[in-house]
Structure 1
Amino acid sequence: MSRKTAPEMTREQMLEQAKSGLNTGVAKSVKHESAAKHVTGEAIYIDDRQEFPNQLHVYALTSPHAYAKVTRIDTSPCYDIPGVAYVLTADDVPGELDIGPVEAGDPMLADGEVSFVGQPVIAVAADSLDNARKGAMAAVVDYEILQPAIDVEASLAKEFFVTDSHTQKRGDAKAAIAASPHVLKGDIHIGGQEHFYLETQASSVVPTEDGGVIVYCSTQNPTEVQKLVASVLAVPMHKVLIDMRRMGGGFGGKETQAASPACIAAVISVKTGRPTKFRLPRREDMIMTGKRHPFYNQYRVGFDDTGRIQGIEIVVSGNAGYSTDLSRSIVDRAMFHSDNAYYLNNATITGHCVKTHTASNTAYRGFGGPQGMMTIEHIMDDIACKLGKDPLDVRKRNYYSEHDGRDETHYFQKVEDILLEEMTEELEQSCDYQKRREDIKTFNQQNPILKKGISLTPVKFGISFTATFLNQAGALVTIYTDGSICLNHGGTEMGQGLHTKVAQIVAETFSVDIDTINVTATNTEKTPNTSPTAASSGTDLNGKAAQNAAMTIKQRMVDFASSHYKVDKEDVVFSNGIVSIGDQATMTFADFAELCWFNQISLASTGFYRTPKIHYDHKKARGRPFYYFAYGVSCSEVILDTLTGEYKVLRVDVLHDVGAALNPAIDIGQVEGGFVQGMGWLTTEELVWNESGSLATAGPATYKIPAVNDVPEVFNVKLVENRANPEDTVFHSKAVGEPPFMLAISVWSAIKDAIVSIADDGVIPYLPAPATPEQVYLAIKRAREHKVQDDVSESKILGETA
């Protein structure tokens, strides 16, 4: 129904409109608030902003060595290049040089030593990026080369770690394994992943009159950038304003590592008094920034004749790179998710943050969870192969269950509202799994060259920051006298639809059209002390904070109407842009807002939310680190060429739990996008470093993200229907950013299933991730030759020194 202004509408028309129902509140498939701008190219990113007069552009000269002492820096030749205005070295930083997000160890510029190929040594500012690059290349830097640590297994053997290790223990794993009828042990290498956001790291800084700065930054973590910029400038945080309207993708890569370009640009801007922009070219972005942590995981598992696990020991070793960054929390999450969907009664899980002389690895969608899940899914496939069973039967045999006491994790959190059994049964039937399994068996028997594989895998993913204090958010809601609403919150928009969902929440609260709401750029002056937009918690936290702010204002308006018109508060009804006040008055929301203002009612409020119930005692290795779990199941079918190792994903069926969906269309988009990105991680996205520590895959010519032709020919995605999250989440929704990523494990497992069909019964093929055609070919060769992975020694499994 079209909206009319107040003078055009009669009371009857307003009542009719009130009954018509809100079209843009929660549970509606409202389009992304910037969708039109995205597809037309009108969306403004950092590099699209109008340049300021006298603006400088920055280029960083980086280390060509993985590990070396810096013996001499001569920047005088830089100034011979026309347009060069300033050269920044570590000695020129007025405040703290270190910009480590959690622990020290990340100098903004190299200070006497370099620790990875690509580490910034100096930064040159000039009137153009080309002149800045030329100026940087003119600098003279001498090094004394040292022996780098590049291999994660070698560093693990030497206990070369960036931080302390951690162990979670439940029951007696060693005794349970010893008493088991069957035992398997082994290891698996799981590759990292480049974020490959469309917009590279970028910041544009404007100096202010009081020695501060305004920083326009592509970051998932405005408050951390604010804090670190203030630190390097040696000024209080109130002199630093961070403004972030949107990112061209983040995926975790801009949670901590957006700080370096922002800090460098800020120091140069203050030093020169000129606006300064630092945008990384693609190659420099790839060599200077960290990736998803590659993991080297080891295991020993005991199980019975049915495939049920009796005891298990897992060691997860994340390649942290040269510094801590967020590695402790990432390895912790890998440990938390080493069970995935399976009950581990007797389990010992150990996590190491291994140091290598590569770029410091960082957050990435799933935050260690995918690397933890991969090991247990690998184990499920191997148990099935050993026993000659369907891997799905082994998985279901080990599921968490509320019926027989198998509902507590190895870190002692109760698993509630377990949906996996019924979701698996529903998908198993809807995708016709059993018939397709038999058809594939027949196909493989009849085709000596082409082989098919199928796999159905689950996901149980914990939602909340593992660093408990980060589970908080704020928001600011303002209603103007024309009824329009300004909304600001601490979350950042990176294309995932966060602003749209939070606007829907506010629209639902006031029962107004979403078009009346403007979500403004994330701004550290409007909403301070924000947590990063990460851990799938953007809507959970910021949506709830915005809802609380809106409810505060709404309650003021209701209280006023009740007092002013002498009616019960229950008689004040907001509906579809109309406010009905008993039988005393009916008016548009805009007219009511103006009436409130005339009567001196505050129409602005902050809102705050902190996630309840969560806690984790790191020393005792027990607690409730997650508010709730999101569930999903996926079935993938592949076909591969045994002569070349090439393969194609033929069909994918997904059933995913989002609670009560806030925006079904956006949620399905997140599931589809997360799945394809996860598929890329496990199949094509191979990171390769040479022996000297240089990244050989530093661009799209050598690093392959999924393209449109890689998307499955048949891709069915369905959200679990009529499932309200029982916890006090915003409108009973569940997070959807990260959990779908791990559904793609079914693709890797299906490839492995196809390889199993080539090997003799009981021969377990070894397939590392990513399963590139080269790795698939080698796995086929090993399977045919009955060469499986070597057993891992007891000392390696137990984390002991040999």
Structure 2
Amino acid sequence: MMTKHLVPDTTAAKIRGGVGEGQVHDSAHKHVTGEAIYIDDMAEPAGTLHAYLGLSTVAHGKILSMDLSEVEKAPGVVAVLTARDVPGVNDLSPTGLNDEPVLPEDYVQFLGQPIFAVVAETREQARRACHKAKIEYEELPALIEPGQVDLTNPRLVTKPLKLTRGDAQQAIASAPHRIKGQMNLGGQDHFYLEGQIGFAIPGEDMDVTVYSSTQHPSEVQHMVAHALGVPSHAVTIEVRRMGGGFGGKETQANLFAAIAAIAAKKLNRAVKIRPDRDDDMTATGKRHDFLIDYEVGFDDDGNILGVDFSYAARCGYAADLSGAVTDRALFHCDNTYFYPAVHAVSKPLYTNTVSNTAFRGFGGPQGIVGAERVIEEVAYALGKDPLEIRKRNFYGTSDRNVTPYHQTVEDNIIDRLVAELEVEAGYKARREEIARFNASSRIVKRGIALTPVKFGISFTATHFNQAGALVHVYTDGSVHLNHGGTEMGQGLNLKVAQVVAEEFQIDLEQVKITATTTGKVPNTSATAASSGSDLNGMAAQNAARQIKDRLIDFAADKHGVPKDQVVFLPNRVRIGNQEIPFADLIREAYMARIQLSAAGFYKTPKIHWDRDKGQGRPFYYFAYGAACSEVSIDTLTGEYVVERVDILHDVGRSINPALDRGQIEGGFIQGMGWLTTEELVWDNKGRLRTHAPSTYKIPLASDRPKIFNVKLADWSENVEPAIHRSKAVGEPPFVHGVSVLHAISDAVASVADYKVCPRLDAPATPERVLMAVERLKTAKNL
């Protein structure tokens, strides 16, 4: 029986955990106690087998012979898979270029390329058996470093992009000042806590279920289906959570899922594959490193008149996502700056190294680093504060608001953000104090930099800007939610649950999100491009509103009131002058055969892009931010300490301020690591030498800034009707790490009285800092 009562005064009542409320990550307690279930924690069915990959030992070569007889005889080995065992299409290329085999047949193209797989009773048996292979190669010439490539006539893995507006060469040639330079910008390993893993369980007929640590379940589904030679409906991919992804599990999970699935169907037993950290780092792609050539023309006041950029990227042996990554680098070669004339080209270079892939920012950070180097060059050439040059060249009014790709910047707030941070961080006074300190300090020098961020939000491949969700309301008023996004620690599931709770006006604990599965929401886009909350939040909201509209129609009709008198209040519904609990309305609707389930959908409006013309609106909106960093360096060793960081960041109307602050803090630290300590090194044979925590240095807790202030620009809201007027927060904060690089550069520049641009390459390791100091000392004495 439905409970009814008169309407009380409920103006102060709120649901628990709605939109705008800071909520702790729904699995946080499980993460710290070890209760969170990852794929390797799942109970294994009886008879589960384990696979391991055999890797190539040359960077480029023809396979002359492959003797795997000793591998097959090794203890516990059940099967050995080669290219001949791929029943369908032997290709995992996400772009359909047919350049990335599951297992190569005739040629290997990088050292560490998987060329066979061993399936054994235990993982250790499979791992040990791999080393018994006898493979003979005819070694071929290998291109390892971008510097080995003839940039005038390079081999490219995909079609380059060109952006032009105005006559850049003429503007540079006629400018009062001109500077030309080059920057070497390193890559980065994803270093997720949970490595790559695939766990396949065969079903009847063609069916297979794969538990995959992936950011893109639908792509893994399609790749596994192609490799097996079966329709996509036969393959189900499930993802409950990942222990980090950062882009490294957007396409790189394909291989591990495919190997597990092929072995499972061949042997009709469950198969799991999980590589060691060393092999994971060797065999999977990374952030693209770039060789950035730039030329800039500017006037006496520091106004940029024209720029010419070339972004050459080490892409590896296959295209993977390199086309889109290098495109986005060009999209961000302006950062927050208006260029009256610009010419920019990408060069996605073929090299005999692992195929590089998506990484937080997806090329955008590399583009922004190039823009900030140009600003730095202009500032030192004119003897001005780099912040003055930055502010002078910001996007502005109607004659200064068009990007190199011809999108109009309509939501610019960078002036206010930077002005506020400049005051709150005490930038001017600190800069003056640092100059005085450096003048009297012979060994230790300090530096400060305030850098801005403008980051475009949307997939640059327009068709990816769509999402689906499935919402069920059960008769007790509880809600089941499933969407196409994946949870990798960033709190996406919690944010989407908050959106649904807000729609129904029920407490957050009434909403349960289940594992992402291709069997519930099909044809999903990757959880990437900072669009997880934007896309999936809107799709879930759409589904909830469909159900809500049905409930309103039902209640209005049953109680004989206008629809506008049916109002959802915290955990109850007002119908005319009565209120009933939410669960009671749901039960009554069920008895009246009202559908309490809906599939939601959303596609991002307004965006369009013509790549051939280099023009369009690839981004729905921009996210902004600014960071001020202070460092101290030891000029005798090159070592440095990050003393203080202040960040002011724009997330629009935050759905969950606690999660957003966490993303900003973590993004900054990861960006700082990329530009300071995380160095990838290949030897001349193509062997990755930094393939483990012992040789690859991510930031430690002790590397965090001594003072670390993070603030949300709580006055901002998205001018576009994104989910609750919020803005994306995953990738833009990563770029704040650029402020540390430029603070180090500022400290180095003090050695030569700030008259010479240090031209620091990144990562700015202590060795590079020391070499830059010595270089500037020499320049000062000349």
Task: Tell me which interval the TM-score lies in, with the shorter structure as reference length.
Answer: over 0.9
The aligned residue for residue 231 of structure 2 is 236
Shift of 1:609: 0.3
Alpha-carbon separation, structure 2, partners of 1:442 and 1:587: 69
Conserved? CA contact 1:19–1:576, under 8 Å: no
In structure 2, give the amino acid aligned to 1:498: L
SS of equivalent residue, structure 2 residue 302: coil
Q: Secondary structure in 2 aligned to 1:260?
A: helix
Task: Find the residue that maps to 1:702 and give its secondary structure.
Answer: coil
The answer as to 2:510 corresponding to 1:516 is yes
> 2:411 — aligned with what?
417
**Alignment partner of 1:215 is 2:248:** no
Aligned to 1:502: 496
Contact 1:156 1:354 in 2 (8 A): no
Match for residue 257 of structure 2?
Answer: 262
Query: In structure 2, what is the equivalent of residue 795 of structure 1?
Result: none
Q: 2-side partners of 1:36 and 1:751: how far apart?
A: 37
1:714 corresponding residue in structure 2: 707
8 Å CA contact 2:4, 2:580 repeated in 1:
no
Alpha-carbon distance in 1 for matches of 2:484, 2:743: 40
Provide Cα deviations, 1:299-341, integer angstroms capped at 9, x if missing partner: 0100001111001100001110111000000000000000000
- Deviation digits for residues 607-631 of structure 1 (CA, Å, limit 9, x no counterpart): 0000011011111110000000000
Q: Cα offset for 1:81?
A: 1.5
Report the 3-state secondary structure (helix = DSSP H, G, I; strand = E; otherwise coil) of the residue aligned with 1:504: helix
Instruction: Tell whether the 8 Å contact from 1:478 to 1:486 is kept in structure 2 after alignment.
Output: yes
- Matched position secondary structure for 1:210: coil
Alpha-carbon distance, 1:539 to partner: 0.4
CA distance in 2, matches of 1:274, 1:463: 43
How many correspondences in the alignment?
Answer: 779
The answer to which of 163-172 and 499-508 deviates more is 163-172
Quote the residue 1:799 is aligned against: none
For 1:621 and 1:787, locate their aligned partners in 2 and report how far apart those are by CA, in whole Å: 43
Question: CA contact under 8 A between 1:77 and 1:139: conserved in structure 2?
Answer: yes
Given candidates 422, 446, 449, the residue that maps to 2:440 is 446
1:30, CA displacement in angstroms? 1.3
Does 1:659 find its partner at 2:677? no
List runs of 5+ in structure 1 lacking aligned partners: 1-5, 789-802
Give 3-state SS (helix, strand or coil) of 2:752's partner: coil
- Residue of structure 1 equivalent to 2:668: 675
Any idea what SS the aligned residue of 2:779 has? coil
Say whether the 8 Å CA contact 1:752–1:767 is kept in structure 2: yes
Aligned residue for 2:332? 337
Q: Which of 515, 524, 532 is residue 526 of structure 2 equivalent to? A: 532
Which residue, 156, 164, 171 being the options, matches 2:166? Answer: 171
Cα pair 1:684 1:772 within 8 Å, conserved: yes
Change (3 A) 1:18 1:593: farther
From the superposition, tell whether residues 223 and 319 of structure 1 become closer, same or farther in structure 2 (CA, over 3 Å). Answer: same
Q: Which amino acid aligns with 1:540?
A: D
Provide TM-score, normalisation by structure 2. 0.98
Aligned partners of 2:133 and 2:386: how far apart in 1?
A: 59
Aligned to 1:749: 742
- The one-letter amino acid of 2:506's match is V
The answer to whether 1:23 aligns with 2:12 is: no
Whichever residue aligns with residue 338 of structure 1, its letter is C
Q: Given the superposition, is the C-alpha separation of residues 555 and 761 from structure 1 closer, same or farther in structure 2, using an over 3 Å criterion?
A: closer
**Using a 3 Å threshold, how does the CA distance of structure 1 residues 760 and 172 change in structure 2: closer, same or farther?**
same
Distance in 2 separating the partners of 1:551 and 1:83: 55
1:798 corresponding residue in structure 2: none
Match of 2:760 among 767, 777, 801: 767
Q: Partner of 1:477: helix, strand, or coil?
A: strand
1:96-245 mapped onto 2 (5 Å cutoff): 96-102=89-95, 103-157=97-151, 158-245=153-240
Structure 2 residue runs without a partner (length 5+)? none
Name the counterpart of 1:306: 301
Deviation of 1:450 after TM superposition, in Å, equals 0.3
How far 1:760 moved relative to its partner?
4.5
* 2:27 matched residue in structure 1: 34
1:554-586 CA-partner distances (Å, limit 9, x unpaired) = 000000000000001111111110111112x42
Which secondary structure state, in structure 2, belongs to the residue aligned with residue 311 of structure 1? strand
Taking the aligned partners of 2:714 and 2:754, their CA distance within structure 1 comes to: 40
**Which residue, 393, 396, 399 being the options, matches 1:401?**
396
**Aligned residues: percent identity?**
52
Shift of 1:659: 0.5
Pick from 671, 680, 692: which aligns with 2:685? 692
Separation (CA, whole Å) in 1 of partners of 2:629 and 2:11: 46
Give the 3-state SS of the residue equivalent to 1:418 in structure 2: coil
- The 8 Å contact of residues 155 and 161 in structure 1, kept in 2 or not, is answered as no
Aligned to 2:47: 54
What is the letter of the counterpart of residue 564 of structure 1? K
C-alpha contact 1:18 1:577 (8 A) present in aligned 2: no
Counterpart residue type for residue 242 of structure 1: I
What is the distance in 1 between the residues matched to 2:500 and 2:209? 29
The two structures, once aligned, show a CA RMSD in angstroms of 1.3
Question: Shift in Å at residue 722 of structure 1?
Answer: 2.4
Give the whole-Å Cα distance in 2 for the aligned partners of 1:518 and 1:175: 60
| Contact 1:230–1:237 (8 Å) recurs in 2 | yes
Q: Deviations over 1:658-711 (max 9, x none)?
A: 010000010000000000000000000000000000000000000000110011
Q: Supply the distance in 1 between the matched residues of 2:368 and 2:180 (Cα, whole angstroms).
A: 17
> Does structure 1 conserve the Cα–Cα contact (< 8 Å) formed by 2:405 and 2:614?
yes
Aligned-partner Cα distance in 2 for 1:611–1:311: 33
* Stretch moving more, 161-170 or 705-714: 161-170
Match for 1:576 among 560, 566, 570? 570
- Which SS does the other structure have where 2:131 is aligned? helix
Paired residues of 2:448 and 2:628 also in contact (CA < 8 A)? yes
SS of match in other structure, 1:620? coil
C-alpha deviation, 1:754, in angstroms: 0.5
What SS class does the counterpart of residue 184 from structure 1 fall into? strand
Deviation at 1:82, TM superposition (A): 1.8
Deviation, structure 1 residue 732: 0.4
Please give the alpha-carbon distance, in whole angstroms, between the structure 1 residues aligned to 2:8 and 2:90.
63
Q: CA deviation at 1:19?
A: 4.9
Question: What secondary structure, in the 3-state scheme, does the structure 1 residue paired with 2:643 have?
Answer: strand
The TM-score with structure 1 as length reference comes to 0.96
Secondary structure in 2 matching 1:541 = helix
Residue 357 of structure 2 corresponds to which residue in structure 1? Answer: 362
Separation in structure 1 between the aligned mates of residue 603 and residue 449 of structure 2, nearest angstrom: 39
DSSP-derived class of the 2:534 partner: helix
Are 2:4 and 2:579, in contact at CA under 8 Å, matched by a contact in 1?
no
AA at the equivalent of 1:786: A
The letter for the 2-side match of 1:558 is I
The aligned counterpart of 1:475 is: 469
Which residue in the other structure is 1:796 paired with? Answer: none
Contact 1:333 1:368 in 2 (8 A): yes
Q: Which residue of 2 aligns with 1:431?
A: 425
AA partner of residue 57 (structure 2): P
1:547 counterpart (537, 541, 566)? 541
1:560 to 546, 549, 554: 554
Please give the per-residue CA displacement for 1:384-406, whole angstroms capped at 9, x wherever unaligned: 1110000000000000012x521
Q: Which residue does the alignment assign to 1:590?
A: 583
* 8 Å contact kept, 2:752–2:780: no
Q: In the aligned structure 1, how far is the partner of 2:16 from the partner of 2:483?
A: 23
**1:616-631 map, 5 Å:** 616-631=609-624
1:316 aligns with 2:325: no
Over residues 273-322 of structure 1, what are the superposed CA-to-partner deviations in whole Å (9 max), with x where a residue is unaligned?
A: 00000112100100000000000000010000111100110000111011
Q: Which amino acid aligns with 1:539?
A: S
Residue 181 of structure 1 contacts residue 305 of structure 1 at CA under 8 Å; is this kept in 2?
yes
Task: Give the AA of the match of 1:307.
Answer: G
Q: What amino acid sits opposite 1:781 in the alignment? A: E
Distance 1:611 1:619, change over 3 A: same
- How has the CA–CA distance of structure 1 residues 183 and 325 changed in structure 2, closer, same or farther, with 3 Å as cutoff? same
